[in-house]
Amino acid sequence: MVPETANEYCRNMLMPIITSTLNKTRWVLLLGMLAIGLSSTSKPINAEERFIPWQAKNFAITTPLAGLKGDPKRGRKLVAQRDKGNCLACHAMPINEEAFHGTLGPPLNAIASRLSPAEIRLRVVDQTMINPMTVMPAFYKDPVTVNRIAQKYIGKTILSAQEVEDVVAYLASLKQQTSQQEVQP
């Protein structure tokens, strides 16, 4: 027998399965597990994960992103982390436990002696605001304005607002040092 409509199919084929006592229990359990699974994977995005608009003025972003306070210890880990900041790929920094430091970008050893935290923040967020020809990625650019990226990165920033503030806090701690000194983790 071929049903004429989807409603007829549901009534003739699925309803007997769903209505039996044993199968009712199975359906309730299945729907309950599905609801639990959906609720655990569809949590709301917090301030650190969603894009928070920022404004640059005089080559700086004076207000911390989302009003967050950065942690220099977490920032130090992020700049060395290959799958996140990866600053060492292009910059030399006082992180001696990492063997290879890049030379494409300027050394960041004493960046806080040259730039304010607000100026550092803009450079981390979107260096193209200062130098449109830079090869440095915009770590916190509005995802709506980014193009030519992999599908899984659409709508996302490279770093979260909290991670940007952590990196800024770490870089702002890098004052003039002698060549033998290293910022401790």
Q: What is the pLDDT of residues 103-131, one digit of tens each?
A: 999 999 999 999 999 999 999 999 999 99
Average pLDDT, the chain: 79
> Under CATH, what is the fold of the domain 65-172?
Cytochrome Bc1 Complex; Chain D, domain 2 (1.10.760)
Higher pLDDT, 182 or 59: 59
* Residue pLDDT, tens place only, 72-96: 999 999 999 988 889 999 999 999 9
Nearest to 64 by CA among 175, 171, 161: 161
- In Å, what is the CA distance from 66 to each residue of 44, 54, 61, 62? 17, 8, 12, 12
Mean pLDDT of 173-181: 69
Task: Return the pLDDT at 153.
Answer: 81
Residue ranges of the domains in the chain?
A: 6-41, 65-172
Could you tell me the pTM of the whole model?
0.69
How long a stretch of residues is the chain?
185
Residue carrying the six token digits 């549901």:
10
